[in-house]
Structure 1
Amino acid sequence: MQSRVERKFLKINFVTIVLLFFVILAGGIVRSTGSGMGCPDWPKCFGHYVPPTTIDELTFSEGKFFKKGYIVIWNEALYKAKKDLTAGPTFNHADWEKYTKHDYAKFNVAHTWTEYLNRLAGVILGFAAIATLLFSIPYLKTHRKKVFWLSLFSFLLIGFQGWVGAKVVDSNLKAYMVTIHMLIALIILALYVYLYEYAKDRKIDVSFIAAMKMGSTKVMLIILLVLTALQILLGTQVRELIDEISAALNFQGRDQWVSKVGSAFIIHRELAFAVLAISGWIWFAFRKLKSDNTLKKLVYCNAALVVVQLITGIALAYLSLPPAAQTLHVLVGCLMFGIQFWAVLCFSKIDYMQEAIA
């Protein structure tokens, strides 16, 4: 029986995991709608804490007041106010500093607010990470001190992820930066899932062990986890290539974009069938087991997610990249990774319980 403090930690940690998926969902919406540069600066948006709703707020005109740090679009470039000022009849370059981190100088209100809400979701996640860290402090007085140190490391990593997010914007969404951003997100997800399972006194029914090949099943599950992570990162690269192709074609001929990606898409597609095959093998290994434990539920959940992932992948390839399918594809991929990692942890607990019994 776990203490009241431990139960509170598990609840807030679980909330943090859920919020992580909301942030991933928000990021998927940003990606699928092309809203990544909706806010060209960071952490503010066009120099505002609450972003503009019309182009007029970013347009230089006589008599308009601008606070220090506010950004305007002038001659297809971004300029930041050096001080509080009221605009005169002409644009005085002495009052403005050209924004040089990138040359993207467009405003789309839908893109701006989509990106802003994505950042807001990240801020809420940050507060949840702080709460998780605070509720982990009592573990310093127990034999599970690792709970606190991992909570601290995870919180710091979220802060680092925010900094990387700023660099992604500064780079104008360079492919390698987007991939690094996604990789860190997967690491953060794995850390919080590990924290939850490590802190929970879960008793797994091991009566089913004799009925299946535990060693080979665990190996296959680890291979599946690695393949899923590679698929997520490769999918990020595929998406970046599609962005380059669409821009080169002036965003025309949407039905041709996927066919022009080349080997990256082919590898991504073939690995998807490998993920399907391994997931099917693991599902079949658990199918006849009478035990209804957490591990079996995770395996079944993963199988369902793989089917959904395959459907969304087919929709992306053959239905001209519908935005809703893009968002769902990213979210389901990350859900698969989280579920598979959780299942690997459960297998590790079974190994520990077997050693304890022996």
Structure 2
Amino acid sequence: MKKLTAFSLGFVLVVIILGAYTRLTDAGLGCPDWPGCYGFLTVPHAEYRVEKAEMRFPEAPLDHFKAWNEMIHRYAAGILGLLVLAMAIIAIRRRRAGVTNKPYKLPIGLLALITFQAALGAWTVTMALQPVIVMLHLMGGFTTFTLLALLYMREAEVPIPLEHSMVPLQKIAMVALVVVIIQIMLGGWVAANYAALACTALPICEGNWWSRLDLLGALTVPPADNYEFGVHNYEQRMTMHVFHRIGAFVVLAVMAKLLWSMWQRATTEWFKRMTLVLTVLLVVQIALGVTNVVASLPLLIAVAHNAVGALLMVALVILNYSLVKIKQQQKEVSHG
């Protein structure tokens, strides 16, 4: 179970990266049906299959590059689903065998989440990239990554040092996690509405952006038959982007406070390494975000921005989990 969880933990990051690559190459509708592609299990290449595909979906011309991007992501997501199913089966068998000191609810919860993720993947296609569905699909992937990280820590029984000086940081650590999650959601909303290039100047946006904000329009989704390439006007997309930029400053301020406190308090190797990891991830994420703006969203940089955001979120979850465990250990010692 531990090895399976470790492999799944690495594999889910691959799935997240593939999902970001699919979205950023405009391949979300590379296959207009689900779970297959133009009615086939693989992307059609033979001439007679291509003819059938065009007859089935005359409104969606076949683009092999985009179709393969989409199908590779689906294959990887399917493999991840099988891995999570295997973990759930192992957890059920262990519980039936009388093993009660190993995670049970978490693997079952992961299976429920991955099933919902599959449904979101289907709706992403059938609802023609509806932005709310796209953002929920992104957050579902990040949540899967997070829960797998927690499952691995419990399966591997990762030892957390009883460092009492870190407990007072629990509140700021939780605030940091919340603002990072909100920032990821804002970024997902920007991506889902194709607003990543709505602002091309630093630090916020070009011109008198404050006078053109349209918050209501930015938060609503106009009815449309197809949401590919976005349906909002410039002011609405600019508003999405501006709030994501402002969110970045909030994240930077909160994370700076947390990391400064951690550098001052950490004495054990565990928390020193965690402080270093969080610092590096934050610096890299800021650099990637700035590069996206000044270089007009290079594909690899944009994909990396997505992946590092997931890693930052998971690292903060592990930090919060560690602080909670320390507090629990303190209570057990005091009551013992």
Matched, 1:233 2:185: yes
Matched, 1:286 2:265: no
Change in 2 beyond 3 A, CA 1:290/1:303: closer
Give, in angstroms, the shift of residue 178 of structure 1. Answer: 0.3
Q: 1 or 2, which has the higher strand percentage?
A: 1
From 317, 326, 329, the equivalent of 2:302 is: 326
CA distance in 1, matches of 2:156, 2:234: 44
Task: Decide whether the 8 Å contact of 2:285 with 2:308 is kept in 1.
Answer: yes
From 97, 109, 133, the equivalent of 1:153 is: 109
SS for the counterpart of 2:34 is coil
Give, in angstroms, the shift of residue 53 of structure 1. Answer: 3.5
Give, in angstroms, the shift of residue 289 of structure 1. Answer: 4.7
The aligned residue for residue 77 of structure 2 is: 122
SS for the counterpart of 2:33 is coil
Q: How many residues align?
A: 300
Give, in angstroms, the shift of residue 29 of structure 1. Answer: 0.6
Matched, 1:132 2:87: yes
Which letter does structure 1 place at the counterpart of 2:313? F
Matched, 1:78 2:78: no
The aligned residue for residue 206 of structure 2 is: none
Change in 2 beyond 3 A, CA 1:223/1:124: same
Superposed CA offset, 1:70-96 (max 9, x none): x5224xx716xxxxxxxxxxxxxxxxx
CA distance in 2, matches of 1:244, 1:195: 34
- Identity percentage of aligned residues: 24
From 212, 220, 242, the equivalent of 2:172 is: 220
CA distance in 1, matches of 2:271, 2:89: 30
Task: Decide whether the 8 Å contact of 1:38 with 1:113 is kept in 2.
Answer: yes
With 335-344 and 196-205 compared, the bigger mean Cα shift is at 196-205
SS for the counterpart of 2:53 is strand
The aligned residue for residue 188 of structure 1 is: 144
Task: Decide whether the 8 Å contact of 1:38 with 1:111 is kept in 2.
Answer: yes
Which letter does structure 2 place at the counterpart of 1:72? A
Task: Decide whether the 8 Å contact of 2:266 with 2:272 is kept in 1.
Answer: no
CA distance in 2, matches of 1:339, 1:287: 16
TM-score, with normalisation over the residues of structure 1?
Answer: 0.76
Which letter does structure 2 place at the counterpart of 1:335? L
The aligned residue for residue 340 of structure 1 is: 316
Task: Decide whether the 8 Å contact of 1:55 with 1:107 is kept in 2.
Answer: no
Which letter does structure 2 place at the counterpart of 1:41? D
Unaligned runs of 5+ in 2: 199-228
Give, in angstroms, the shift of residue 290 of structure 1. Answer: 6.1
Give, in angstroms, the shift of residue 282 of structure 1. Answer: 2.1
Which letter does structure 1 place at the counterpart of 2:112? L
Matched, 1:48 2:40: yes
With 16-25 and 150-159 compared, the bigger mean Cα shift is at 150-159
Change in 2 beyond 3 A, CA 1:240/1:353: same
CA distance in 1, matches of 2:235, 2:193: 11
Matching of residues 31-42 of structure 1 within 5 Å: 31-42=23-34
CA distance in 2, matches of 1:55, 1:324: 33
Which letter does structure 1 place at the counterpart of 2:177? L
TM-score, with normalisation over the residues of structure 2?
Answer: 0.81
Matched, 1:167 2:123: yes
Which letter does structure 2 place at the counterpart of 1:326? A
Matched, 1:353 2:305: no
Give, in angstroms, the shift of residue 310 of structure 1. Answer: 0.9
Which letter does structure 1 place at the counterpart of 2:66? H
Matched, 1:29 2:21: yes
Change in 2 beyond 3 A, CA 1:244/1:143: closer
CA distance in 1, matches of 2:234, 2:69: 25
Superposed CA offset, 1:216-237 (max 9, x none): x211111111111111111111
Superposed CA offset, 1:157-214 (max 9, x none): 21221121011101111111101112222332232223223344333222x424x5x3
Give, in angstroms, the shift of residue 294 of structure 1. Answer: 2.8
SS for the counterpart of 1:242 is coil
Change in 2 beyond 3 A, CA 1:160/1:179: same
How large is the RMSD of aligned CA atoms in angstroms? 2.6
With 276-285 and 38-47 compared, the bigger mean Cα shift is at 276-285
Give, in angstroms, the shift of residue 130 of structure 1. Answer: 2.2
Superposed CA offset, 1:320-343 (max 9, x none): 111111111111111111111111
The aligned residue for residue 142 of structure 1 is: 99
Task: Decide whether the 8 Å contact of 1:32 with 1:323 is kept in 2.
Answer: yes
Change in 2 beyond 3 A, CA 1:337/1:44: same
Unaligned runs of 5+ in 1: 1-8, 60-70, 80-103, 252-256
Matched, 1:197 2:153: yes
Bigger radius of gyration, 1 or 2? 1
Task: Decide whether the 8 Å contact of 1:32 with 1:324 is kept in 2.
Answer: no
Matching of residues 230-269 of structure 1 within 5 Å: 230-242=182-194, 261-269=237-245
CA distance in 1, matches of 2:153, 2:265: 23
